[in-house]
Amino acid sequence: AQTVTQSQPEMSVQEAETVTLSCTYDTSESDYYLFWYKQPPSRQMILVIRQEAYKQQNATENRFSVNFQKAAKSFSLKISDSQLGDAAMYFCASIQGAQKLVFGQGTRLTINP
Amino acid sequence: GAGVSQSPSNKVTEKGKDVELRCDPISGHTALYWYRQSLGQGLEFLIYFQGNSAPDKSGLPSDRFSAERTGGSVSTLTIQRTQQEDSAVYLCASSFGRGNYGYTFGSGTRLTVV
């Protein structure tokens, strides 16, 4: 069974600084995909970034990038130049085979002006 | 439609009543998922549809919960004889195929059982 663990319930960062959110996962498959989702107070889950396990290159999307360490089963999210609009709950998630997306418990990110 | 639409946005019901939550996925998305999110918690999987079939309903917490999907499109999640512990946000998502490119989520239905 796949599991996803986020060990940081809450994080805070000063506006314009960089913050890293941690995530570890466990899977028995070699073919899987990893995601970070953002959930603002509007409740809608927004896909931030996606990583294919067979690709060694870390995914990047503008100010968002990941550090994918396959052997360590680690998938952290780095947010550069933090903005007030980045404040939200962030969820790490994985999917393997034909199974469903499994989520971590989330990290609440606060941006201090 | 352009996104995943869920209705109602909020629902308050009395304990013991039945409720129906609706999800209208993105047109053409073959897979549809229901998740439950309790206050301050992560997302708990409930059920998955591929077309009108539900190959995985392992997350439904009890036989009070049921779901159906018709025409490969709209889905309804029904909770019978609601209990206070059913209070949560119910999120629906849809995807192409296996969902390897991620799911698109709706804004959820906040259910409050009083």
C-beta separation of A7 from A92 below 8 A: no
Q: Residues B37-74: pLDDT tens digits?
A: 998 788 999 999 999 999 999 999 999 999 999 998 99
Instruction: With H, G, I as helix, E, B as strand and everything else as coil, classify residue A90.
Output: strand
What is the model's pLDDT at position A100? 87
Q: How far apart are the first and last CA of chain B?
A: 33
Residues 58-97 of A with CB under 8 A from B: 91, 95, 97
What is the model's pLDDT at position A97? 74
- Which of A32, A43, A61 is the best mutation test for B, with the most CBs of B within 10 A? A43
Partner residue facing A91 (CB), from B43, B45, B89 = B43
Strands (E), chain A: 3-5, 10-14, 19-21, 24-26, 32-39, 46-52, 60-61, 64-69, 74-79, 88-96, 102-103, 107-112
Q: Residues A22-39: pLDDT tens digits?
A: 999 998 888 899 999 999
Q: Residues B5-37: pLDDT tens digits?
A: 999 999 999 999 999 999 999 999 999 999 999
Q: With 70 as the cut, is the pLDDT of residue B2 above it?
A: yes
Apex A39 CA angle, A35 and A44, nearest 5: 105
Q: Which two tokens mark B83?
A: 């209990």
